[in-house]
Amino acid sequence: MHAYFKKFPSKEAALLKPHPDTTEEQWKELCDLFTSEAFMKRSEQNKKNRSKLTVNHAAGSRSFQRTRACMQRQEMRAAREKDLQEFAKKQAEMEATLRDHREEQRVEQERIRLEQEERIEREQERMQVEHEERMQHGTRAHAKGARALTAEISKELEKKMSSVMEKKMSDMSKRLFSQFGGSKR
Asked if the model's pLDDT at residue 185 lies above 50, the reply is no
Q: Given pLDDT bands bounded at 50, 70 and 90, which one contains residue 110?
A: very high
pLDDT of residue 159: 86
Q: Kindly give, in sequence order, each residue whose CB lies less than 8 Å from that of residue 2, ignoring residues fewer than 6 positions away.
A: 34
Asked if the model's pLDDT at residue 115 lies above 80, the reply is yes
Rounded Cα–Cα distance for residues 6 and 116 (Å): 103
- Rounded mean pLDDT, 115-137: 87
**Per-residue model confidence as pLDDT tens digits over 137-183:** 765 666 677 788 888 888 888 888 888 888 888 888 788 778 876 55
pLDDT of residue 41: 95
Burial of 27 (0-12, 13-18, 19+ CB in 10 A): buried
Asked if the model's pLDDT at residue 56 lies above 80, the reply is no
Report the predicted TM-score, pTM, of the whole model to 2 decimal places: 0.35
Asked if the model's pLDDT at residue 184 lies above 60, the reply is no
pLDDT of residue 133: 81
**Per-residue model confidence as pLDDT tens digits over 66-78:** 888 888 999 999 9
Please tell me the least confidently modeled range out of 6-15, 30-39, 160-169, 176-185.
176-185
Domain ranges for the chain: 97-180
pLDDT of residue 139: 59
Asked if the model's pLDDT at residue 35 lies above 70, the reply is yes
Q: How many degrees, rounded to 5, is the angle at CA 75 between CA 72 and CA 81?
A: 140
Rounded Cα–Cα distance for residues 113 and 180 (Å): 28
